[in-house]
């Protein structure tokens, strides 16, 4: 059975939605990134980048959410889109993987998690996140789905981040993006989404972003030869 390494962050949520939409059987394996589970030798053997999500499928490891979506859709033929739309599919998946996701994540980090409020960084990443939302909003003006005429992994991939619009953009969320709001409402009303929101609800993930959690999430911010107590002073 497929093993799915997850937590409740946007990227694992994408894979959760694919699995629930397609009904593929899987074993859920929680990875608590605030406790540092992602840095264990066992998990690094699955994902050497030390991030979630990842899967193991009959001896095959796949990591990075969009790689997983591509792998599973190509293997099963489910939600892969039409062959004639292959170029569009790859383009939008890369747009999400290299733009929408990273800029959204950095916007959240510098606005909510960074130890200092740096106006340039806050503005830079927020404006880039907004620009990516605008690109999607324009694309969806006369469309129901991101690629082709049917729900696909492109919609699943975007949903994982657009679901966090108020966290990324502030309280206005999707209000300035009418087309994107319409698309999101359509995707968010799918029965599988409710199932996804309940996945792992019995898992007690750490929620406190204390010094240990900061070290686990952002180990590159800390000199390797300095103790945790000293590291908390430089974070």
pLDDT in tens, 206-219: 999 898 998 999 98
Domains detected in the chain: 2-78+195-234 (3.40.30.10), 83-190 (1.20.1050.10)
From the CB of residue 104, how many other CB atoms can be counted at a distance below 10 Å?
Answer: 27
pLDDT in tens, 166-202: 999 999 999 999 999 999 999 999 999 999 999 989 9
- Residue 232's pLDDT band, with cuts at 50, 70 and 90, is very low
Looking at residue 115, what is its pLDDT? 86
172-208 b/e (C-beta count within 10 Å ≥ 16 → b): ebbeebebbbebbeebeebebbeebeebbeeeeebee
**Percentage of residues in the chain having pLDDT higher than 90:** 89
Q: Are the CB atoms for 144 and 82 separated by under 8 Å?
A: no
Q: Are the CB atoms for 174 and 165 separated by under 8 Å?
A: yes
Looking at residue 220, what is its pLDDT? 87
3-state secondary structure (DSSP) of residue 2: strand
Does position 226 have pLDDT exceeding 60, yes or no? no
pLDDT in tens, 91-103: 999 999 999 999 9
Which residues, 6+ apart, have CB-to-CB distance to 12 below 8 Å? 5, 6, 52, 53, 65
């Amino acid at each position: 059975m497929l093993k799915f390494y997850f937590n409740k962050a946007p990227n694992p949520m994408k894979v959760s939605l694919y699995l629930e939409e397609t009904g593929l059987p899987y074993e859920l394996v929680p990875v608590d990134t605030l406790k540092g589970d992602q840095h264990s030798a066992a998990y690094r053997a699955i994902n050497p980048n030390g991030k979630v999500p990842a899967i193991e499928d009959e001896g095959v490891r796949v990591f990075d959410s969009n790689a997983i979506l591509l792998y599973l859709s190509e293997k099963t033929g489910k939600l892969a889109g039409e062959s004639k739309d292959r170029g569009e599919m790859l383009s939008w998946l890369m747009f999400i993987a290299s733009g929408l996701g990273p800029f959204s994540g950095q916007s959240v980090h510098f606005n909510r998690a960074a130890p200092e409020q740096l106006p340039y960084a806050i503005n830079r990443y927020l404006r880039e996140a907004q620009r990516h939302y605008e690109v999607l909003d324009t694309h969806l003006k006369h469309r129901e789905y991101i690629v082709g005429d049917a729900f696909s992994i492109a919609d699943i991939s975007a949903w994982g981040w657009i679901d966090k619009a108020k966290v990324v953009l502030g309280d206005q969320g999707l209000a300035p993006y009418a087309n994107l709001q319409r698309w999101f409402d359509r995707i968010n009303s799918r029965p599988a989404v409710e199932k996804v929101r309940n996945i792992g609800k019995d898992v007690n993930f750490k929620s406190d972003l204390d010094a240990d959690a900061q070290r686990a999430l952002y180990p590159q911010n800390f000199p390797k030869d300095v103790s945790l107590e000293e590291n908390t002073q430089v974070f």
